[in-house]
Amino acid sequence: MSSTVADGAAPQRPPAIIVSERSLFWRRFRRHKLAMAGLAVTLLLYLIALLAEPIAPFDPDHGNARLVYHPPQAIHWFDGGGLRPYVVAYRLARDPATLAATYVPDPNREVYLGVWVKGDPYTVWGLFSGSHHLFGPLDPRQPVFLLGADRLGRDMLSRIVFGARASLSIGLVGVTFSLLLGIIFGGISGYFGGRIDWAVQRVIEFIISLPTIPIWLALAAALPKSWSPLTTYFCITLIISLIAWTELARVVRGRFLAIRSEAYVTAAWLDGCSQARIIFRHMLPSLTSHIIASVTLAIPMMILAETALSFLGLGLQPPAISWGALLKEAQDVNSLAEAPWLLLPGGAVAITVLALNFLGDGLRDAADPHGS
């Protein structure tokens, strides 16, 4: 603190370090180890979704009728004293007693794996095309199923990687819609208060009281089957966010109510600020960190909602790939008994939801300076 100031009581204790609110926020966030891990996992997942084509080893729609329900193969890392990863190939055999077809490992046939190998051709986002994949079999004709194959002999790993695209983006797009609605209605409600607040809150309560799944089902059922997967996708997102905005609106309203009575907001009003300036320049910046935190916590809800809808067959329809649509395959108990790896997309959902929740917790704690 400057010593030129005639502020009596000599210098204050530790010299003040000049840091902005943002760097304070980041400093508090970094202390939260679990949230840092959540951030890393979340970023990785979104990177995978963004670059699904080169990351997935195969084309997700490329099936092989002779490789139906092929079991997962474990990677062996060393061969002949050196690092040379390979998987043991399986061959189809018949049980002599029941005559059922089963896959048995064929120890003499090894399929060697490599990094950045040539495989199925692809085009990323219509921008550039290629045929190299992050990893895969050295011989592109050899099938490798690290997470098994589905009912049509398609690679589950590739399908899960592609499914991330729809499932993760539906979270983001849906939250953007909800955020817009939430900030507008929550902001109006909290800033103006009184009767407007009363009306908005009753509407929100009405929406919250609606039984969610039947409403989703009804709305989803109303979508024409003839629509393209992309249109359906956006409609599903809208349907989900139409209900999810209420929570965000409540958070925003609560914050607005709290900040509205702060002396610096009164000061801004007395300075002659317009209402728009008070809201956007003085109130919203104090809310951003809280809003980011609630948004992060809202994304997993969206992802779960999409998964639930698609699982019930009312969300994204094949050939569109999402985690929910993949899980639909696991509805049948018989096929599940035969191929338990069909549940793996559920694992991907769980990891994503956990990572986002940890991230959101960390952001929320960092946004609240009175927390610790």
Q: How far is the CB of 251 from another protein (least distance, A)?
A: 19
Q: Which helix (H) or strand (E) holds 257?
A: helix 229-260
Q: How far is the CB of 360 from another protein (least distance, A)?
A: 22
Q: How far is the CB of 291 from another protein (least distance, A)?
A: 14
Contact 92, 66 (CB under 8 A): yes
Which residues are at the interface with another protein (CB under 8 A)?
A: 1-2, 4-9, 12-14, 16-21, 262-264, 266-274, 277, 282, 285-286
Instruction: Indicate the burial class of 251 (C-beta count within 10 angstroms; 0-12, 13-18, 19 or more).
Output: buried
Contact 104, 90 (CB under 8 A): yes
Q: How far is the CB of 294 from another protein (least distance, A)?
A: 19
Helices (runs of H) and strands (runs of E) counted in the chain: 13, 4
Toward another protein, which CB reaches closer, 14 or 96? 14
- In one-letter notation, the amino acid at residue 153 is G
Q: How far is the CB of 194 from another protein (least distance, A)?
A: 11
For residue 112, the SS3 value is strand
Contact 68, 151 (CB under 8 A): yes
Strand order in the sheet with 128-137: 76-79, 82-94, 101-124, 128-137
Q: How far is the CB of 197 from another protein (least distance, A)?
A: 14
Toward another protein, which CB reaches closer, 65 or 276? 276
Toward another protein, which CB reaches closer, 25 or 177? 25
Q: How far is CA 302 from the centre of its chain?
A: 8
Q: How far apart are CA 75 and CA 214, in angstroms?
A: 44
Furthest C-alpha separation in the chain: 98
Toward another protein, which CB reaches closer, 20 or 334? 20
Q: How far is the CB of 10 from another protein (least distance, A)?
A: 8
Toward another protein, which CB reaches closer, 70 or 282? 282
Toward another protein, which CB reaches closer, 95 or 271? 271
Q: How far is the CB of 285 from another protein (least distance, A)?
A: 4
For residue 168, the SS3 value is helix
Q: How far apart are CA 107 and CA 111, in angstroms?
A: 11
Toward another protein, which CB reaches closer, 28 or 328? 28
DSSP-assigned letter for residue 202: H
Toward another protein, which CB reaches closer, 26 or 264? 264
Q: How far apart are CA 179 and CA 198, in angstroms?
A: 20
Toward another protein, which CB reaches closer, 262 or 332? 262
Instruction: Indicate the burial class of 128 (C-beta count within 10 angstroms; 0-12, 13-18, 19 or more).
Output: exposed
Q: How far is the CB of 241 from another protein (least distance, A)?
A: 28
Contact 362, 29 (CB under 8 A): yes
